[in-house]
Structure 1
Amino acid sequence: MKQTWRWFGPDDPVTLAHVRQAGAIGIVSALHHMNRGQAWTDDEVLKRKSEIESAGLSWDVVESIAVPEAIKTRSGDFRAKIDNHKASLRAVARAGIKVCCYNFMAITDWTRTDLDWPLANGGTALRFDMIDFCAYDVLILKRCDAEADHPPERIEAARQRMASWPESKAAQLERNLIDWVPARETVYDRQSFLHQLDEYRDITVEGLREHLFLFVREIAETAEELGLKLAIHPDDPPFPLFGLPRVNSTQSDTQKLFDAVPSPANGVTLCTGSYGANPGNDLVKMARAFAPHIHFAHLRNTTREVDGSFYEAEHLDGDTDMIGVVAALREMEMAQSREIPMRPDHGHLIVDDTGKKVNPGYSCIGRLKGLAELRGVMRTVDAFRAGRVS
């Protein structure tokens, strides 16, 4: 696997020089200043490519060209937005980039209740706490019909917990859930978020799934012509939030997309953290089942809790058999004579990064540690296959 690193552009606190020191050789990036559904231009794509290559790195994956809500709901100017998406794919292809990761999550991008959850070792991690989420959904946001999506005991636990919160907790929770994600297309406040939820009121799971199929049929045709590989990112978390439909949370969900759009360009980003937060997903099995369709991998681990909560674990700990996943991916690469890009996804906030301005989940040292651990697994797997170790 080619070792890559997500870089948010010139404003990223983690510089390209840091990336090289971490040992990555490729970059995963996007034009985050052009993330509102407009067409990317050749000049802007080539400018970003030049910045990356001047640092001795290669731009291997675009993550992501935005998929605006109008495309997901098939409303408003969705046709123009799809045309812009295709134009962006063409600009990317002309620059020589071969893989495009995207997601189709309604309204939310990846969602966490805690961005600095304390760990026993003194570092912090990203966390999704189901009770805190319920408190926001039912008691703060007061979403219509929210009570129906949470069992009574969870709502009562949320009431009790909320009663002990400091005054700042509710505002911080709201910011974490609806107002913050790096490179999100839209930043919401409470009223605009509720308004956007209304846009999905009549869209069922099957309705959103059909919208996904329609969109991917179009862009896959363009990608095939251009020699690009599309890699959909799974839902994160891989279960419904805010009453919104989810269509890419399980092995079955993703297989339905492959069946509906049987294009060689149509593939998946195997995100072990996103899929892994759903106990029904077997990541080693999925790595083998999806082998022809895996064009990119996000490698991270999560530890699940009984009530559905989870936190970002060490890359080699948690509930996902990371060694088994890496072995399955290396087996796939050797069988198909191809190399896929991977990146260490998320990382703990540790050591000298503590107290610095960072994008939560994307600090330098935590990801460097994860990449080093994953690199060790890859080399051990290769040595085992070559008979150098037993």
Structure 2
Amino acid sequence: MRQTWRWFGPRDLVTVDDMLQAGVEGVVTALHHVPTGAVWSAREIEKRKAELSAMKDGAPSGLNWEVVESLPVSEDIKKQNGEWREHIANYKVSMRNLADAGLEVICYNFMPVLDWTRTDLNWRVSTGATCMRFDYADFAAFDIFILARPGAEEDYPKTVAEEAKARHSAMEDAGREALARNVVFGLPGAAESFSLDDVRRHLSEYKAISAERLRANFIDFLTEVVPVAEELGIRMCCHPDDPPFNLLGLPRIMSTESDYKAIMDAVDSPANGITLCTGSLGARPDNDLPGMIERLGDRVHFLHLRNVKRESSDISGSFYEAEHLGGDTDMVAVVAAALAEEKKRKANGRADWLIPMRPDHGQDILDDLNRKAQPGYPSIGRLKGLAELRGIMAALSH
């Protein structure tokens, strides 16, 4: 597997020099400053490539931008309202500009309103390290009492709703503000940052959109962009829902293997593929991750390797970001399945036989605890994860 690293550009506290010292082979990044729906210009793309091509002292880094994460899909496209047709046209222009710059893999998602969601960004584990956590009762407290979504209480089991009420009552104003900020105002890589009123407006507009309607809108989007991807030699890969279960009464359509298969079958093209995130999909106990790679592996264009520890056996439940080898996902089995898929591709003569992967997220450990980097993206915690994954790859390939 091609060992890559997510980088948020010059503002990232993890530098180009840090990536090189971690042994990274390629870089995953995006133009986070460009508004969703706007064109990614050739000039801005080349600027980002130049920013990661040099070390602090000006020496060439040898690193290249290899995966786009993410070229965001606007809410207008997902809902098919407002400027959605213009946004699709702009998306195609961005794809062409990326292809002209040598980019071949584009990761994106189709999550409505909220991108990936957590309730705690610095949850302490027994070692003293901190990590991100999704607490189902805290999220219910946000949904029912802070956002005050009509009918929200009915979407939760009675015991969860009661716990949410107790927790909200015990929170100070600062705690309520922190919870709202964590859930709504945007995490690293999120396409947009919303206010509470923004979320309420979007939720109102999504009331008429069922899971079937959202899936149909997704297929319409793919019908437009996949032929362009085929023409350009680009591999599109959709990231799963995170968490992979219903939130805020919104439809979730990329949470399971059957969700992915439905989309792959609807727009049946090698250019229409998967970002298989073991952390997102692993938050559901019914997802068989090694099996997904075995059955859908020819369409897996990008791997996010991370682990979570589930706190219940329910489909919807609390979990936290575990060490890469310490959660509920059998990471050795996942890596073995990915290596087997690569071997199969190579035997079939596929030019894209080597699958890019990145050590996704990581716990804040050692000096990470004082650096205050982007939540989930510490330097040492991810380096530890990469080292562990690299060890598995070396052992299984020996």
TM-score by length of 1: 0.96
The answer for unaligned runs of 5 or more in structure 1 is 384-390
Matching residue within 244, 248, 252 for 1:242: 248
Q: Matched residues in 2 for 1:76 and 1:326: separation?
A: 43
Contact 2:116 2:190 in 1 (8 A): no
Q: Matched residues in 1 for 2:87 and 2:202: separation?
A: 18
Q: Matched residues in 1 for 2:243 and 2:378: separation?
A: 21
Report the identity percentage: 50
2:338 aligned partner, one-letter code: L
Note if 1:371 corresponds to 2:380: no
Q: Matched residues in 2 for 1:204 and 1:73: separation?
A: 10
2:238 aligned partner, one-letter code: I
Measured after TM superposition, the shift of residue 119 of structure 1 is: 0.6
Matching residue within 86, 111, 135 for 1:129: 135
1:343 aligned partner, one-letter code: R
Matching residue within 50, 54, 59 for 2:65: 59
Note if 1:359 corresponds to 2:374: yes
The residue number in structure 2 matching 1:380 is: 395
Q: Which ranges of 4 or more aligned residues in structure 1 deviate by more than 6 Å?
A: none
Q: Matched residues in 2 for 1:180 and 1:64: separation?
A: 14
Note if 1:38 corresponds to 2:38: yes
Contact 1:230 1:268 in 2 (8 A): yes
Measured after TM superposition, the shift of residue 181 of structure 1 is: 1.3
The residue number in structure 2 matching 1:387 is: none
The residue number in structure 2 matching 1:139 is: 145
The residue number in structure 1 matching 2:113 is: 107
The residue number in structure 1 matching 2:355 is: 340
Q: Matched residues in 2 for 1:325 and 1:367: separation?
A: 18
Contact 2:186 2:192 in 1 (8 A): no
- Once structures 1 and 2 are overlaid, which stretch shifts more, 288-297 or 153-162? 153-162
How many residues get paired?
383
Deviations 1:153-196 (A, max 9, x none): 11111112223334421110000000121243332221121111
Q: CA RMSD in A?
A: 1.0
Q: Matched residues in 2 for 1:293 and 1:209: separation?
A: 19
Contact 2:115 2:186 in 1 (8 A): no
Q: Matched residues in 1 for 2:28 and 2:292: separation?
A: 23
Measured after TM superposition, the shift of residue 290 of structure 1 is: 1.1
Q: Matched residues in 2 for 1:265 and 1:381: separation?
A: 29
Q: Matched residues in 1 for 2:236 and 2:193: separation?
A: 26
TM-score by length of 2: 0.95
The residue number in structure 2 matching 1:388 is: none
Contact 1:35 1:66 in 2 (8 A): no
Measured after TM superposition, the shift of residue 35 of structure 1 is: 3.5
Q: Matched residues in 1 for 2:376 and 2:41: separation?
A: 29
Contact 1:35 1:65 in 2 (8 A): no
Partner SS, residue 199 of structure 1: helix
Note if 1:268 corresponds to 2:283: no
Q: Matched residues in 2 for 1:278 and 1:141: separation?
A: 25
Contact 1:134 1:154 in 2 (8 A): yes
Q: Matched residues in 1 for 2:178 and 2:321: separation?
A: 19
The residue number in structure 1 matching 2:329 is: 320
Q: Matched residues in 1 for 2:112 and 2:322: separation?
A: 26
Contact 2:115 2:191 in 1 (8 A): no
Q: Matched residues in 2 for 1:321 and 1:135: separation?
A: 32
Partner SS, residue 168 of structure 1: helix
Matching residue within 44, 69, 75 for 1:69: 75
Q: Matched residues in 2 for 1:305 and 1:47: separation?
A: 44
Q: Matched residues in 2 for 1:254 and 1:278: separation?
A: 15
